[in-house]
Structure 1
Amino acid sequence: MTYTNEKKLIKDAKRIIAHHNEVSRLKGENFNVFSILNMEHKENGTHSALLGELLNPKGSHLKGDLFLQLFLQTVGNDTINLDKASVVLEKYIGRRMMPTY
């Protein structure tokens, strides 16, 4: 007894996975600076600090609100008053509710 449908399904799945992996490679989606620096376990703290510093108009980069402007342009938000902008790295917004099913 041959399993033609199953073999075709497995072959198709392998082709789709290979294609997805190639697209990810070409897009650079597998690049992770925290892996390179062997800091995966510190990603949250370092990631937040770096982004916060770049987006902070009063950051040590001395570029004013340039990075914040570019970020807001990229996400399509033009409603923030940059003269009054400030950065808060993490803010407690309340207890997270778990979904009930």
Structure 2
Amino acid sequence: MAVIPPPANADDELSAMAIEELDAACALPWPDIRQITPWGDSFTGFAPSGREVEIERRYLWAHAPEGAVAVEVEVRDPTARTGAEARALLTGAD
């Protein structure tokens, strides 16, 4: 699994949440990931500090390598207008 870390200036708490959500999103068995792709959802959650955040998860077909799935997670604080993203590329061999 290749992970693209969030930008260095992203909120540390949001970055940690994005990586944690990405780990959960990638924990699905490969056949299940292929079956639900393309798919995405968003929901409201709470950061460890108690602030309300929006969490968005996406499973998208990657351009390369063929058959790979890009898993993307974004965690946003709409009030502070900040956010963090994490991304993984799954090939089934991971």
For Structure 1 versus Structure 2, the TM-score category normalised by the shorter chain is under 0.3
TM norm structure 1: 0.24
Q: Which has the higher helix share?
A: 1
- Point out which structure has higher relative CO (alpha carbons under 8 A, 6+ apart): 2
Q: Which has the higher strand share?
A: 2
Structure with max Cα Rg: 1
